[in-house]
Amino acid sequence: MARFVVRRLFSMLLVLFAVSVLTFLIFNVIPNGDPAVRMAGKQPNEEQIEAIRKEWGFDENIVVQYGTTMEKLFTGDMISYFTQLDVVDEIIKGIPRTLSLAVGAAIIWMAFGVGLGLYTAMRAGKVSDTFLTVLALIGISMPVFWIGALMNHYLGFELGIFPNGGYVEFTENPADWFYHLILPWTALSILFIGVYSRVLRSNVLDTINEDYVRTARAKGLSERRVLIKHVLRNSLIPVVTLWGLDFAVVIGGGAILTETVFNLQGVGQYAADAIGQLDVPPILAVTMFGAFFVVVVNAFVDIAYAALDPRIRLESGSSAA
Amino acid sequence: MSQTAILSVEDLRVRFQTEDGSVQAVSGVSFDVRRGEVLAIVGESGCGKSVTAMSLMGLTRGPNAEITGRATLDGTELIGAGDTELQRIRGNTMAMVFQDPMSSMNPVYKVGDQIVEQIQAHRDVSDADAQEQAVELLDAVGIPGAAERVESFPHEFSGGMRQRAMIAMGLSTEPDLLIADEPTTALDVTIQAQIMRLLRRLNEERGLSTILITHDLGVVADIADRVLVMYAGEIVESGTLDQIFYDPQHPYTWGLLGSVMRLDRPRSERLAQIKGQPPSLLRPPEGCKFRPRCPHAFEKCVQHPVLEARGGDPAHLDRCWLDAERKRAVRTTATGEIGLEAA
Amino acid sequence: MADTNGATPLLQVTDLVKHFPIKSGVLVDRQIGAVRAVDGVSFSVAPGETLGLVGESGCGKSTLARTILQLLEPTAGSVRFDGREIAGVGRRELRPLRREMQMIFQDPYASLNPRKRVGQIVGSPLKLHGLAEGKELRGQVEELLDRVGLAPEHYNRYPHEFSGGQRQRIGIARALALRPKLIIADEPVSALDVSIQAQIINLLEDLQDEFKLTYIFVAHDLGVVRHVADRVAVMYLGKIVELGPADEVYAKPVHPYTEALLSAVPIPDPKTNAARTERVLEGDVPSPANPPEACRFHTRCPYATEICSEVEPELEEHRRRQWAACHHPLNVGAGGRTSDPAGLQA
C-alpha cells in the first residue's frame, strides 16, 4: 500500500506539472501578440500594461515566466484584470456551489441510473425495456444547456413552480437551498442517468450469465439475494469507478453549462465568464483546480476499485494518475 | 447397499425455444438413483446430460424452457415444485458441483463466506457456528491449513483446491444427493485423481448418493456403480458398470468404448472412430437417432427404438432393435476389441 | 543427445530457455524475478517421427512449442532446424523458414478468424508467400479442404458454421497449405468430443504418411499421446524429466513423475483399473516463478531423499534409449524399484 501511495503521488505530481506547463503554453506563449496586453483587459493604458509585464515576468525568458505564473497561482496572488478581483478568492467562493451541484447530482444519477439499469436488465427484450431504453437514449441526446434552459424558462420563469435560477446558501436556508437546486440537479443528471442505466444494464446482463450466479442459485439462495449480493455487487464494480471519474470531471468544471444556465455562480460559471472574455488568470487557475481534483479523485477511484475487487492488486499494473 | 431409490425420474422432457427454432434437449429420460450409489451419466456434448441434471435442480427454468415429467427426491416432487419450494431443496437435500471451479465461485467474496452463505440459507445457525462448520468442511475435503484458507479469495486457490472448496460447499448442508457435473474435466490429471479419490471416499464414508456426469469413460470406470449412456437427449443404454463395459448393448456405447485411447493398449494401426457428428437437436433424424452414424442399421431402425431389456438382465436396458445375439457378434472388431466398425 | 538412431535430426533443441520477467518497483519497474516457463530443454526430432510432449499445467510445454517456432523469442539456447540455427534470428531471415514449420492450435473456436471465410483462412499462407494466386490458389485450397475431409463447397463459409471437429480440420488444412516439414500440434484434440478425437487423430496420421510430415504433439492426455507418438518427452516445471520411446516410457517409466502421471490416468476398464496400485500424487504443482531447489519434483516425490534437494539430477540414459533426470530412477537394473502404473504387464 505504501509503495502504491508513493508511486501514485509521484505520477500525480508529474501529471499536474504537465498540465500546468501545457496550460501556460496555451494561454501565454502560443497565441500571437503581447500577453500583457491580452491580460490587461479592455482599454488598458500603457502604465498598466507595463506593470503587468513586470509582475508576470513577460520580459524574461519562458522558464522564469512559468515560474512566476506558478508562484502567483500558489500564493494566491493572482488578480483578474477584467474584474479586479482576486482569482483564488473567487474560486473558493464558487466551490461550495459547485460541490452542492455536483454531489447532489452524483447521488441522484447514481441512484436512478442503477435503478433504471437493473429494471431494464430484468425485463430485457420486453416492451418496457425497449421503451425505457429509448427514453434513456433521449436523455443522453439532450444537450444539458438546452434542457436546462427549457426547464428554467418554463418551470421557473413562466410557471413559477421552481425558482428562476440562482443559488441560496445552505447555511442561510437549507430548504431554499434544496429548492433552488432541484432543477439544476435534474438537468445535469439526465444525461448521466441515461449513460449509467445503459452501462449497468449491460453489466447485469453479462453477470447474470456467469457461472457463479448459477452456483448461487444452486445453493438454494433466494432470487433476491442472488440478484443483490451476486449479480448487482459484481455489476457495480465498473460503474462505481466510472462514477468517481465523472464526479471528478463535474467538479473540475464539467458543469459549466448547467451552472451558467441556472446562474449558480459556481466555479464552472466563473470559468465560463472568464473564457468568454479571454481573461487569462482565472482560466489558468480553474484549469489547475480542475486538474488537481481529477488527479486526486482518480487515485481514490483506483483504491476503491482494489477494495471492491480482490483480484485487483494495487501495485500490479500501470495506473495513470 | 440399500435398493431403495433416493431419486426417481420419470419421462423428463426439456424443450428450449431458441432463435433458430425449438430444441428438444432431453426427450423422455427416466432413471433411478439408489441410495448410496454412484450413478454415472456418460455422453458427449449436446447429449443432454447436463441439461438433465440442471433441470432436476430447477436451474433451467425460464421463459424459453418447457420442462415436463416427474422427479421425486426422497418423496418430494421436483419438476412440479414451485420456485420457492425448490429453493429450499436445492443446496440443501440436493447439491451440485460444477465443472469450472474458477468461474463457479464469486471472485469478490471469501471462500469461507460463500460456504457460510449456503449454510445460513438453509439452517438457523449463528455466524460463528457457520464459520466453524466452514473450516471443518474445508478440512474434511483435504485442504491444508483450513482455518487460514477460509479467509482466502477464490483466485488465491489452485485449481484442485478450488474444486475441493466447491465440493465442501456442496456438502455443507449434508445433502442426500450430490450431482457432480464434469467435476474434473478442467483439472490436470494428477489433480483429477485426487478429486476422484475424494469423491469416492465421500461416497463410501458418508453413503453419499452421487450422480456423476462426465464424458470420460476412465472416470466412469474408476468410480461408478451404474451407468447411463446418453445420446441426442435420450438414454440409449443403462446398466451396471460391468455390463456397460463388458457386455454393452448399444452401437453408440461400442463406438465410445472403441474410440477411447487407452493407456494400457499398444498403439493401434488405426483408431476405431464413429463417422459423422451428433445430430442437430433442431431437426433430429427420424427413427433411431443414431441411425445415420451406425454401420449396423437395418430396416427396423426407421422406427424409434424403445428403451428395454433385451440382453437377459431386466435391469440392463438398451435402445437398439438388434437382438442380443447379433449384438454380441457384431460388436467385436478386427482387433478383438469392442468397437463400432464390424469385423 | 542424438537419440535419433544416427539420422540427422530435423530439429535439434539445445538448452532452450524462455523466461518471462516479473517486474515491480516504486517509481520504475525493475525485474525482481521471472516465470521460468522453459528452463533448459534439449532434445531432437528425427524426420518423419512423432514426438509426444506431455505434462500438466505450468510445465511449459505450450511455451516450448511457441519458442521453438520463434513465435516467442528465446531467452537463451539454440534451435537448429534442418541444420540451420533459428533461435533469435531476425524476422527477415525467418520468413522463408516459416514455410517449413507450422502450428495447429488447441481451441478450434478461437484460432480461426471469425470474419474470414474458410477459403481465405486456408489460402492466405499461400498468398502471403507468393506461391499461388487466383484460380490456381482456389484449386489448391479446394484440394486441401478435400484432403482433410471437408467439401469444396465449404470454401465460402465462415468458421461459425462448422462444428469443433470440422474447425480443427480447417486449422489442419491451413497448417498443411505450405507443405511444411514440421508441424507442432498444440493440444489439437483436447477441446473435442471423444468420438471426434479419434477422427482427427486418424486424419493426422494419414496426412503424416502422405505428406511426409514430422510432428511434435503437445498434449496433456496421456492416452492420446500413447497412440500417436513414437517417442515421448515428459515435462515438469520447465524441464524435460523423461524422454524415450513411447512403448518403453509407458510400460517402464523411469522418472517418478512419469509414474505418477501414468498412475493417475483412469483406464476405461473397471477390472484393470481396480487392479492397479494407486499412487496418488499429493499437493499442487509449485509455481514456475519459484521452482523447488535442485530436483524440481522433490517436494512431491514419494522416493525423495536428501540428495534430491541438494543436487539437480542430469538427464541420463538410465535404460536403453530412455533418458531421465532422477537420482532414484525406477525400472532400472536388477534389484531396483519396479513400477508398472499403466498396468501393461497385467
Last residue of a domain, one of B150, B174, B198: B174
Q: Where are the alpha helices (DSSP H) in chain C?
A: 61-68, 91-98, 118-128, 134-147, 164-176, 194-211, 222-228, 246-251, 256-264, 270-275
φ/ψ of residue C257, rounded to 5: -70, -40
Q: Chain A residue with minimal CA distance to C25?
A: A3
Contact list, B199 vs chain C (CB under 8 Å): none
Lookup: cell for A132: 425505457
- In the stretch 164-193 of chain B, residues with CB closer than 8 A to chain C read 188-193
CA dihedral A254, A255, A257, A261 (to 10 degrees): -170
Identify whether B141 is part of a domain.
Answer: yes
Rounded to the nearest angstrom, the gap between the alpha carbon of residue C9 and the centroid of all alpha carbons in its chain is: 17
What is residue A62's predicted lDDT score, i.e. its pLDDT?
A: 79
Of C57, C193, C265, the CB nearest to B44: C193
Identify whether B262 is part of a domain.
Answer: yes
Contact list, C27 vs chain A (CB under 8 Å): 6-7, 10
Assign B342 a pLDDT band (cuts: 50, 70, 90).
Answer: low
Rounded to the nearest angstrom, the gap between the alpha carbon of residue A118 and the centroid of all alpha carbons in its chain is: 25
Please give the C-alpha separations between residue B190 and each of B13, B193, B197, C280, in angstroms, as whole numbers.
37, 5, 11, 7
Given its phi and psi angles, is residue C47 left (phi above 0), alpha (psi -120 to 50 degrees) or beta? beta
Assign A297 a pLDDT band (cuts: 50, 70, 90).
Answer: confident
C-alpha atoms less than 13 angstroms from C-alpha of C120 in its C-beta half-sphere:
10
Identify whether B298 is part of a domain.
Answer: yes
Put simply, the answer to whether B108 touches A216 (Cβ < 8 Å) is no
**pTM to 2 decimals?**
0.85
- B186 contact A CB<8A: no
Assign A314 a pLDDT band (cuts: 50, 70, 90).
Answer: low
**Cα(C250)–Cα(C254) distance, rounded to whole angstroms?**
10
Domain limits at B156?
Answer: 95-174
Average pLDDT across chain C, whole number? 88
Last residue of a domain, one of B144, B174, B204: B174
What interface predicted TM-score (ipTM) does this complex get?
A: 0.87
Assign C195 a pLDDT band (cuts: 50, 70, 90).
Answer: confident
Mean local confidence (pLDDT), A41-54: 77
pLDDT above 70 for C346 = no
What is residue B92's predicted lDDT score, i.e. its pLDDT?
A: 92
Put simply, the answer to whether B245 touches C269 (Cβ < 8 Å) is yes
Helix axis angle, C134-147 to C164-176, nearest 10°:
130
Put simply, the answer to whether A219 touches B57 (Cβ < 8 Å) is no
* Residue of C26, C28, C29 for testing the chain A interface, max A β-carbons within 10 Å: C26
Question: Which chains contact A through at least 3 pairs of Cβ atoms less than 8 Å apart?
Answer: B, C
**Cα(C275)–Cα(C263) distance, rounded to whole angstroms?**
12
Pairing label, strands B177-181, B94-97: parallel
- C196 contact B CB<8A: yes
Put simply, the answer to whether A234 touches B108 (Cβ < 8 Å) is yes
Given its phi and psi angles, is residue B67 left (phi above 0), alpha (psi -120 to 50 degrees) or beta? beta
Q: Chain C residue with minimal CA distance to A9?
A: C27
Of B59, B106, B155, the CB nearest to A230: B106
**Cα(B175)–Cα(B190) distance, rounded to whole angstroms?**
27
Distance from CA of A316 to the nearest CA of B (A): 15
Residue A242, classed as helix, strand or coil, is: helix
Rounded to the nearest angstrom, the gap between the alpha carbon of residue A159 and the centroid of all alpha carbons in its chain is: 31
Last residue of a domain, one of B125, B152, B174: B174
Running DSSP on this structure, what letter comes out for residue C28? S
* Bigger pLDDT: C31 vs A219: A219
Put simply, the answer to whether C27 touches A315 (Cβ < 8 Å) is no
Identify whether B165 is part of a domain.
Answer: yes
pLDDT above 80 for A76 = no
- Helix, strand, coil share of chain B (percent; to 5): 35, 25, 40
CA dihedral A300, A304, A305, A311 (to 10 degrees): 130
Mean local confidence (pLDDT), A171-176: 81
Contact list, A229 vs chain B (CB under 8 Å): 117
Q: How many CB atoms lie within 10 A of CB A83?
A: 17
| Start and end residues for every CATH 1.10.3720.10 domain found in chain A | 94-316
**Cα(A120)–Cα(B206) distance, rounded to whole angstroms?**
46
- B266 contact C CB<8A: yes
Identify whether B46 is part of a domain.
Answer: no
- C26 contact A CB<8A: yes
Assign A318 a pLDDT band (cuts: 50, 70, 90).
Answer: very low
Q: Where are the alpha helices (DSSP H) in B12-126?
A: 49-56, 83-89, 101-104, 111-122
pLDDT above 80 for C5 = no
Distance from CA of A174 to the nearest CA of C (A): 47
Contact list, A129 vs chain B (CB under 8 Å): none
Q: Chain B residue with minimal CA distance to A217?
A: B59
Q: Chain B residue with minimal CA distance to A125?
A: B63
Distance from CA of B14 to the nearest CA of A (A): 18
If one counts the domains in chain B, the total is 2
Rounded to the nearest angstrom, the gap between the alpha carbon of residue B221 and the centroid of all alpha carbons in its chain is: 13
Number of B/C CB contacts below 8 angstroms equals 135
What is residue B3's predicted lDDT score, i.e. its pLDDT?
A: 58
Helix axis angle, A2-24 to A280-308, nearest 10°:
160
Residue B189, classed as helix, strand or coil, is: helix
φ/ψ of residue A150, rounded to 5: -60, -50
Please give the C-alpha separations between residue C145 and each of A223, C123, C173, C278, C341, in angstroms, as whole numbers.
50, 10, 6, 45, 41
φ/ψ of residue B41, rounded to 5: -110, 115
Contact list, A315 vs chain C (CB under 8 Å): 24
**Cα(B250)–Cα(B320) distance, rounded to whole angstroms?**
6
Nearby residues of C202 by Cβ (< 8 Å), 6 or more positions away: B270, B271, B273
Mean local confidence (pLDDT), A151-173: 80
pLDDT above 70 for A136 = yes
* pLDDT digits 0-9 by tens, C96-108: 888 899 999 988 8
Put simply, the answer to whether B107 touches A215 (Cβ < 8 Å) is no
C90 CB burial (10 A radius; 0-12, 13-18, 19+): exposed
Contact list, A6 vs chain C (CB under 8 Å): 26-27
Put simply, the answer to whether B121 touches A211 (Cβ < 8 Å) is no
Residue B146, classed as helix, strand or coil, is: helix
Number of A/B CB contacts below 8 angstroms equals 72
Beta strands in chain B (DSSP E): 5-18, 21-34, 38-42, 65-73, 76-77, 94-97, 177-181, 209-214, 226-231, 234-240, 308-309, 317-318
- B48 contact C CB<8A: no
Assign B285 a pLDDT band (cuts: 50, 70, 90).
Answer: confident
Does A94-316 carry CATH code 1.10.3720.10? yes
- C28 contact B CB<8A: no
- C334 contact A CB<8A: no
Comparing CA positions, the residue from B335, B332, B334, B336 lying closest to residue B254 is B332
Mean local confidence (pLDDT), C264-278: 87
Assign C58 a pLDDT band (cuts: 50, 70, 90).
Answer: confident
Identify whether B108 is part of a domain.
Answer: yes
**Cα(A9)–Cα(B165) distance, rounded to whole angstroms?**
40
Question: Which chains contact B through at least 3 pairs of Cβ atoms less than 8 Å apart?
Answer: A, C
What is residue C332's predicted lDDT score, i.e. its pLDDT?
A: 85
Q: Which of A207-211, B279-283, C53-57, C298-302 has the lowest mean pLDDT?
A: B279-283
Put simply, the answer to whether C198 touches B274 (Cβ < 8 Å) is yes
Of B216, B221, B270, the CB nearest to C270: B221
Q: How many CB atoms lie within 10 A of CB C52?
A: 23
- A6 contact C CB<8A: yes
Comparing CA positions, the residue from B104, B3, B26, B97 lying closest to residue B57 is B97
What is residue C2's predicted lDDT score, i.e. its pLDDT?
A: 42
Nearby residues of A299 by Cβ (< 8 Å), 6 or more positions away: A8, A12, A321
* Bigger pLDDT: A311 vs C343: A311
- A313 contact B CB<8A: no
